[in-house]
A and B are shown apart, each in its own frame.
Chain A
Amino acid sequence: MLPILQAVLSGILVGGVYGLLSIGLSLAFGVMRIVNFAHGDLVMYGMYVGVVASTLLGIDPLLALPASFLLMAVLGALQYRIVFRRFVGHTTLNQLLAAIGLGLVLQMVAQLVFGVDARSAPSIFAGSYDLVGPFFFARAQIVAFLVAGVATIGVELLLRKTQWGKAVRAVADNIEAAEIVGLRSQRINLTAFALSCGLAGIAGTIMVTYYPTDPTKGFTLMPIAIIATTIGGLGSVGGAFLGGIFCGVVQQTTAMLWNSALQDVPLYFLLLVFIAFRPTGLFGHRSE
């Protein structure tokens, strides 16, 4: 029984970061109906921000979190201006393909700049473990979980409590009505997309403190983020975080009870089950 509990607890910790990977994705979908397959590649760039900070500048990757957020937000704003602006409103198949194309370009640029070798950027917490009763946790993962939780709560507060959040939700609900009452939808969408990409940057930099990166990491991480977002309810930020935790728990318990090489297979199956029987996810409201 104890090992299973340990797997569940580790799953929650790992899953918090999966949640952080997913909330930006869910935000872009909720506001603009954009499924950004290139989101994972921004996470990968965020990981390289951590690597650059620790190897070139010699500072702890955790201190690079704000820079990573800003850099990826700017990169995201550029992507929005160049590519995604024309696809706002409903998910089109052209939009999905454009995002995949963009992801490939980002991945190959990273490969040309950083090479194919795996790189890591341990923080001061790397290698320390905490024992709580019979359970042990990697301290880097606890820190990552806390950052993920704070980021999720912060985004939820931004959306619910601020004037900007109100505007974003108005544009998401009905873009024409929002424009009639004087909201500038393109500008609001741009900021929402930049925030979504900035979150990807944070997720990457926090992950690289315990998980090495290489240019294909974006594509490796993307499926989990998609599954977490769908299970949480496409478009729901809090749902995506909980969906991430759900994925983490399923993955870790599978790895323990069945086989760690097949740890993601039940998740893929769960995605199909959710699509077939509950496409609004666990926490989604809108019937799509």
Chain B
Amino acid sequence: MTAGATPEGKTERRAPTRAGFLYGFIVAALVAGLPFLPFANDYFIAVAVRMLIFIALGQAWNIVAGIGGLLSLGHGVFLGLGCYAAGILFNEYGLPPWLGIWAGGLLSVAVALVMGAMTLRMRGVFFALATIAVSLALDQLARHYVDLTGGDNGLALRFLGNSLWFMQSRTPTPFLYAGLIFVIAYYWITQWVLRSRLGSEMKAVRDDETAAAAAGVAVFRTKLLGLLLSAVMTSFAGTLYMQSYQAIDPETAFGLSQAIQLQLPALIGGLGTSWGPIIGGTIMILLSESTNWGSTRLGIAGVDILVYGLLLLAVVMYAPKGIMGLFGKRTRGVWHS
């Protein structure tokens, strides 16, 4: 098939090398060993958990945006559905998040189907606008239906203490391992997509929609499948977010700064690569934690958002292939058309 023969396609279609596997194993083992370090405290572990969750969310966004080339500015929708579904089912009906995670996933599939069916036949800019509209609509609805969602104040999980069945814990350490499992699983999913026929078709559509259609790719179906996969992954990671933070509110789920935080890992690290969101997410959280630390000391709020804005500008203007692009061969940026 000609579609997979793009420069990006060739480099990423290789099976992961033994060295790549070794690096991955070492990194995972280091993360798993964090709680045993002598200076590890709850704050330290909580930052690592935040890192892992945002890496997973970034990996999910990377599927639709990095590999598929669709700019979703509203992936907070699926994050929010994963959070609210698990939270509401537990608070109202006492159901464990083991069920809630599937409810959130199903809801996300339904929303993604409607959104995709209505917008994915049009040019990319319309999809981007539609994702914003859907997240704003959910934001207003979540603020209004206070009985269900807690309104502006958000939804806090009833806390039961340590419980595996209800995925609750007094310390962040269990979520470190849950987050690690998510990141490893999403890494393998990304690798699988990149090497599968679906991934080749997604990249072909991303690089040149007309050429892909001429080569026999079902363009609309390919885009929709990519969106559905990414939506489910985001929603699952959303449930983990909910269990770890035990609270969600409309601003955190559907707000602009959250949407940016879902995009930055893949953008910083390198769009469409399997290591990109991992590297980018790590950098983003380290940066955000240090600016937060600095800005509280200086007494100025919002410096982290300023840093995010500058980072976003710098990446898209000067390094559209992200950090992975600095190491890799000189190839065109992913989003050139």
Contact = CB atoms under 8 A, between A and B. Distances in A.
Contacts of B141: 262, 265
Contact of B337 (A90, A102, A103, A107): A90
Interface in A78-127: 83, 86, 90-98, 100-105, 107-109, 111-112, 116
A268 interface: yes
Given A97-B263, A264-B136, A264-B140, A275 B130 contact: yes
Contacts of A2: none
Interface string A247-260: 00000000000010
Contacts of B134: 268, 272
Contacts of B118: 272-273, 275-276
Contact of A116 (B123, B301, B311, B313): B301
A272 B118 CA distance: 7
Contacts of A95: 316
A86 B133 CA distance: 27
B124 A268 contact: no
Interface in A260-288: 261-262, 264-265, 268-269, 271-273, 275-276, 279, 288
Contacts of B316: 94-95, 97-98, 101
Given A35-B125, A265-B140, A275-B119, A94 B320 contact: yes
B90 to A, nearest CB: 26
B126 interface: yes
A108 B73 contact: no
A97 B71 contact: yes
A193 to B, nearest CB: 17
Given A91-B125, A96-B125, A265-B141, A101 B312 contact: yes
Interface residues of A, number: 43
Contacts, number: 131
Contacts of A262: 140-141, 144
A226 B132 contact: yes
Interface of A: 35, 83, 86, 90-98, 100-105, 107-109, 111-112, 116, 219, 223, 226-227, 230, 259, 261-262, 264-265, 268-269, 271-273, 275-276, 279, 288
Interface of B: 65, 69, 71, 73, 115, 117-119, 121-126, 128-130, 132-134, 136-137, 140-141, 143-144, 256-257, 260, 263, 267, 300-303, 305-306, 308-313, 315-317, 320, 333, 335-337
Given A100-B312, A223-B136, 18 more contacts: A86-B317, A93-B65, A93-B71, A94-B333, A97-B267, A101-B312, A104-B305, A105-B306, A105-B309, A223-B132, A223-B133, A259-B144, A268-B133, A269-B133, A275-B122, A275-B126, A279-B126, A288-B123
